[in-house]
Amino acid sequence: MVRDITLGQFLPGDSLMHRLDPRAKLGLTLSVIVFIFVAGNFLGLAVMTGLVFLGMAVSGVSIGRYLKSLKVVLLVVLFTSLLNLFYGGGEVLWEWGFLRITWGGVSNSIFVAVRIIVLIFASSVLTFTTSPTQLTDALERLMKPLSLIRVPVHEIAMMMTIALRFIPTLLEETDKIMNAQKARGADMESGGILKRVKALVPVLVPLFVSSFRRAYELATAMECRCYRGGKGRTKMKILHMKARDYISCGVAAAAGAGVILLRIFITHPYL
């Protein structure tokens, strides 16, 4: 049933991770992602992995959930690490025709795999513990300075809020329209790609029409509720950075500094 769809993968909870300021969380995740790429060797990567594992541990979400989030990218991980296996130099381990596996390749392949997995874990920590609404809110506030250079920050955030609100409604509606057209004998399950795309017309047209109707009614409702853009608006929920937010940023900064230092001073090929 489409009704059960929840957007993103937010898992309500009350862990330390859940309670962190969404701005701090968003900033942390972005910098962790950057530093995972900055980490040029295994030691640096290990530092970041440790940091991400720490985040996972304090998120109160079971490890099973995290492993499940890997399922979607499993193929990407396998493919890229397989590709990397055949690159790199060093001692040759196995050779067949033009294919050659070296120590360098093995190390590369493991490095890339770990990097992707940790990246997924890091973003999962964010999406598991932050509701889409909080994320929008954090984005709006972090982007606020951009409004000085005429970026319509409030409008972008409003659009995201409305999108989040209406995606489940539209999914549900798609389901209904599909059933209705199937009841009129529409065949959406067989035939080649072209036929299937064509079969979508009876679904997409009503969906567009109804989206416009919804948009019109929503605009009226917003007007009724005194909406006139971002000017003069206040917010019910105000975000405050607390000690825990500053401490977590500090930990992340330390880890980042570590990664940079390791990258500069450790040059051993397999570390």
Partner 1 sequence: MEYLQTQELTYSYHKEPPLTLALDGVTLGIGKGEFVALLGHNGCGKSTLAKQFNALILPSGGTVFVDSMDTKDQSLTFEIRRQVGLVQQNPDNQLVASVVEEDVAFGPENIGVPPGEIREQVDAALKAVGMYEYRTHAPHKLSGGQKQRVAIAGILAMQPACIVLDEPTAMLDPRGRREVLETVWKLNREKGITVVLITHYMEEAAQADRVVVMDRGKVLLDGTPRQVFSQVDLLKEHALDVPQATELMALLRREGCEVPNDVLTAEECTKVLEGLLGGTQTG
Partner 2 sequence: MKILEVKGVSYQYSPKTPFCKTALEDVSFSIEQGEWIGVIGHTGSGKSTLIQHLNGLLRPTSGTVLLHGKDIWENPKKIRSIRFQVGMVFQYPEYQLFEETVEKDIAFGPRNQKLSDSEIHDRVQAAAKFVGLSQEMLKKSPFELSGGEKRRAAIAGVIAMDPEVLILDEPTAGLDPMGRDLILSQLMEYHRERKNTVLVVSHSMEDIAATADRVLVLDQGNVVMFGEPAEVFSRGPELADMGLQVPQITQIMAKLRDKGYPVPAGVLTLQQAVQALLPLMKRQEGGKADG
Which residues contribute to the site for partner 1 (CB under 8 A)? Answer: 3, 6-7, 131-133, 161-162, 164-165, 168-169, 172, 213-214, 217-218, 220-228, 232-238
Q: How far apart are CA 61 and CA 54, in angstroms?
A: 12
Type of residue numbered 247: I
Q: How many whole angstroms separate alpha carbon 184 and alpha carbon 182? A: 5
State the minimum distance, in angstroms, from the CB of residue 65 to partner 1: 20
State the burial class of residue 184 (Cβ atoms within 10 Å of its Cβ: 0-12, 13-18, 19+).
Answer: exposed
Residue 15 or residue 210: which is nearer to partner 2 going by CB?
A: 210
State the nearest-atom distance from the C-beta of 237 to partner 1, in Å: 8
Distance CA 185, CA 214 (A): 27
50-76 in b/e form (b: 16+ CB < 10 A) is: ebbeebbebbebeeeebeebeeeeeee
Minimum CB separation of residue 162 from partner 1 in Å reads 6
Which range touches partner 2 (CB under 8 A), out of 84-92, 145-153, 198-206, 241-249?
Answer: 198-206
The residue within the footprint of partner 2, chosen from 107, 108, 136, 181 (CB under 8 A), is 181
Distance CA 178, CA 175 (A): 5
181 binds, among partner 2, partner 1, none (CB under 5 to 8 A by kind): partner 2
Nearest distance, CB of residue 205 and partner 2, angstroms: 4
Residue in 34, 67, 159, 180 binding partner 2, rule: CB under 8 A: 180
Is residue 137 within 8 A of residue 74, CB to CB? The reply is no
Judged by the rule CB under 8 A, the positions of this chain that interact with partner 2 are 1, 4, 173, 176-177, 179-187, 201-202, 205-206, 209-210
